[in-house]
Amino acid sequence: MDFSRDGVDLAVRHGVGRYPGLRSYRVVSVEMVPVAAPSLVEHLGMPELSDELTRWPQVHDADRKGWSLWFQAQGIDEIEVPRGPSFNDSSLLLSAVIAGQGAGLLPAAMVALDVNEGRLVKLAKPTHMETFAYYLVYPEEKHSNLKVSALRDWILGAAST
């Protein structure tokens, strides 16, 4: 999202919440689940342990932090530097995973239909990760804008109930 080019005042991003030049407010965290295309699972075999996924090709979020946080939540600290394609749009990340480019870490609710219909395979149980969440973001210079403040307060208020 290019705020100046796209004429957008606020956005919701999924990631770790650190975006240079933007104010960021955590709205909600969700369960994340590692998934892959059935063809990739057939080629590599279903992982029995979470640490086996450290050796799989991976598709990443733009910040390249999701997998690291997921592995840490599983108690796995020995991981390599993230490599593989990354996307700043979760629907593009999902498309890459379905196409077999690698395993992806996505919100469980987002992939539920694809899992149920056999386009994706869950590689492990969903994990709730507080840091990797949805964040309301906007440029610093919009902070005093009354409309931005009103919408921010409404969204954050609704999310806290």
Q: Do 54 and 32 touch, CB atoms closer than 8 A?
A: no
**pTM (2 d.p.):** 0.78
**In sequence order, what are the residues at sequence separation of 6 or more whose Cβ sits closer than 8 angstroms to the Cβ of residue 97?**
35, 36, 37, 59, 103, 104, 106, 120
pLDDT of residue 15: 83
pLDDT of residue 107: 92
CB-CB neighbours of 46 under 10 Å: 11
pLDDT of residue 104: 96
pLDDT of residue 52: 93
The one-digit pLDDT tens for each residue of the chain (161 residues) are 688 888 899 999 888 888 899 999 999 988 999 999 999 999 999 999 999 999 999 999 888 788 988 998 898 987 777 788 999 888 999 999 999 999 999 999 999 999 999 999 999 999 988 888 899 999 999 999 999 999 999 999 999 87
DSSP 160: T
Strands 22-36 and 86-87: unpaired
pLDDT of residue 65: 83
In what helix (H) or strand (E) does residue 156 lie, and over which residues does it extend? helix 146-159
pLDDT of residue 77: 83
Give CA–CA dist 128/9, Å, rounded: 29
pLDDT of residue 93: 94
* Helices 90-98 and 108-116: angle between axes, nearest 10 degrees: 30
Strands 22-36 and 121-122: antiparallel
φ, ψ dihedrals at 70, nearest 5°: -65, -45
Q: What is the DSSP string of 73-95?
A: HTT----PPP-S-EESSHHHHHH
pLDDT of residue 131: 82
φ, ψ dihedrals at 112, nearest 5°: -55, -45
pLDDT of residue 63: 80
pLDDT of residue 34: 97
Residue at 23: amino acid letter: R
pLDDT of residue 48: 94
